[in-house]
């Protein structure tokens, strides 16, 4: 009986040590913002600006984006699940730690405020974003990306303030089967016309 008790005690100690080790690993895995900024400055700045802010309209604003979502996209670029000649090459050179650090750096910034520019399409864009298009089976974008475009970490990116040109390009790519890393978006975009995509893209650019 005493031997059995000793074994239980030893097992408890082992579990405790394992928990401490796991805690140390978790702490060590915390993103390094300084390292992320350094990597972003040397690798990402040419296309996304030094802090991931506005940059070229053809490239996404990374500033204020959910770190979890950014890591997911970088990993899918690295694995070839998402196709882009430039990003596939850039992501291939990044380690998982690099990705976490860069994503945390961009995520620590505040998304810049954008504006809708096509007033003729604002009403259409708002209607689709908030209410969807029932007859086409298009759900309200706000259901996943939130009413103010803040999105939900990991799966649903922040859209509020994003470049309209970039959003339009991505919705079109989903519709045409050129972007294949999100089945839900492929299905939704398949039912959107060019005008509806343009209206949505312009509308979300002004969300805040």
pLDDT at 36 over 80: yes
* Confidence band for 3, pLDDT divided at 50, 70 and 90: very low
CA distance 144 to 187: 14
pLDDT for residue 11 is more than 70:
no
pLDDT tens string 38-71: 999 999 999 998 888 877 899 999 999 999 999 9
Rounded Cα–Cα distance for residues 37 and 33 (Å):
6
Do 203 and 116 form a contact (C-beta atoms < 8 A)? Answer: yes
pLDDT, the chain, mean? 88
pLDDT of res. 50 = 84
* Stretch (H or E) spanning 199: helix 194-205
Output the pLDDT for position 53: 83
Give residue 15's pLDDT: 40
Angle at 60 between CA 55 and CA 64, to 5 degrees: 90
Helix (H, G, I), strand (E, B) or coil at 133: strand
79-138 pLDDT, tens per residue? 999 999 999 999 999 999 999 999 999 999 988 788 899 889 999 999 999 999 999 999
Q: Which residues contact 3 (CB under 8 A, 6 or more apart)?
A: none
Reported as a pLDDT band with limits 50, 70 and 90, residue 7 is very low
How confident is the model over 154-174, as a mean pLDDT?
Answer: 95
pLDDT for 24 equals 42
In terms of phi and psi (left: phi > 0; alpha: psi -120 to 50; beta: otherwise), the region of 133 is beta
pLDDT on residue 8: 43
- Residue 105: closest CA among 27, 25, 39: 39
């Amino acid at each position: 009986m005493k031997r059995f008790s000793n074994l239980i005690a030893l097992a408890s100690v082992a579990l405790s040590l394992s928990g401490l080790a796991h805690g140390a690993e978790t702490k060590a895995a915390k993103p390094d913002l300084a390292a992320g900024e350094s990597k972003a400055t040397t690798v990402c700045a040419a296309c996304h600006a030094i802090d991931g802010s506005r940059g070229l309209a053809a490239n996404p604003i990374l500033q204020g984006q959910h770190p979890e979502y950014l890591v997911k996209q970088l990993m899918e670029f690295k694995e070839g699940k998402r196709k882009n000649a430039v990003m596939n090459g850039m992501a291939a050179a990044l380690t998982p730690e690099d990705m976490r650090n860069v994503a945390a750096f961009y995520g620590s910034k505040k998304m810049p405020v954008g504006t809708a520019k096509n007033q003729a399409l604002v009403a259409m864009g708002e209607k689709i974003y908030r209410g969807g298009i029932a007859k086409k089976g298009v759900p309200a974008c706000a259901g996943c990306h939130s009413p103010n475009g803040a999105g939900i970490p990991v799966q649903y990116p922040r859209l509020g303030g994003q470049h309209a040109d970039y959003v339009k390009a991505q919705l079109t790519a989903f519709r045409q089967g050129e972007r294949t890393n999100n089945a839900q978006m492929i299905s939704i975009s398949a039912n959107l016309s060019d005008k509806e995509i343009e209206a949505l893209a312009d509308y979300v650019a002004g969300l805040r």
